[in-house]
Chain A
């Protein structure tokens, strides 16, 4: 069974640009979580989607947004990129009601 997949693996953008990151959950999982791990900082929660709806949001500005599609895959969009957005972005998935989250390999974003 395939695990959580993310694309792209690496990305370089410049300040002010916009970026879209993608995540495909494990088959049968309906919840998708997005986390950010900035250099030197711990993991922080960004967004939680379940059954196509945003269920919870971390303490990030509105230029971080996303959506979940009917097939439960998800996109994370970041507008007006800033240097401090450089980070590893991790996606995780779980079955509704299950507490174990399975992580994807991450997308490493560098903002110049």
Chain B
């Protein structure tokens, strides 16, 4: 079993829809990242969370440490949101990130 599980694996939405991507993890962590990867391969860090909720524009990320679960929400989705969204957890002393397999999002106009 992977230490970081994401769902769904693929997601197709119509422009304007509210989108939720889920991430569950089975290890102790010091922080959780949500990353965005566009087809060219470049990765952008969207959020880094250790508790609670963060909002940036149309993106909202939440984390429940007790339940070992995080969600990424996109409000009023747009075709430019089409990308792979990756959840990654940081196990503090080990330094490196452990990644989920990603959620491929396609937003249709």
Residues of A within 8 A of B (CB): 31, 33, 35, 37, 42-45, 48, 50, 55-56, 58, 88, 90, 92, 99-103, 105-106, 108
Contacts and interface: CB of A to CB of B under 8 A. Distances in A.
A48 B96 contact: yes
A55 to B, nearest CB: 6
B100 A42 contact: yes
A48 B95 contact: yes
Nearest to A90: B43
Contacts of B86: 42-43
Given A50-B95, A55-B95, A101 B45 contact: yes
Interface residues of B, number: 25
Given A56-B95, A100-B48, A101-B45, 19 more contacts: A31-B95, A33-B96, A33-B97, A35-B97, A42-B99, A42-B101, A43-B86, A43-B97, A43-B99, A44-B99, A48-B96, A56-B94, A90-B43, A99-B92, A103-B43, A103-B45, A105-B42, A106-B42, A106-B43
B99 to A, nearest CB: 4
8 contacts: A45-B96, A56-B95, A56-B96, A88-B41, A92-B97, A103-B45, A106-B41, A108-B41
A-side interface mostly: strand
B98 A45 contact: yes
Interface in B66-95: 86, 88, 90, 92, 94-95
A31 to B, nearest CB: 7
A110 to B, nearest CB: 13
Contacts of B40: 105
Nearest to A45: B96
Contacts of A50: 95
A101 B96 CA distance: 9
B44 interface: yes
Contacts of B95: 31, 33, 48, 50, 55-56
A45 B41 contact: no
B107 to A, nearest CB: 22
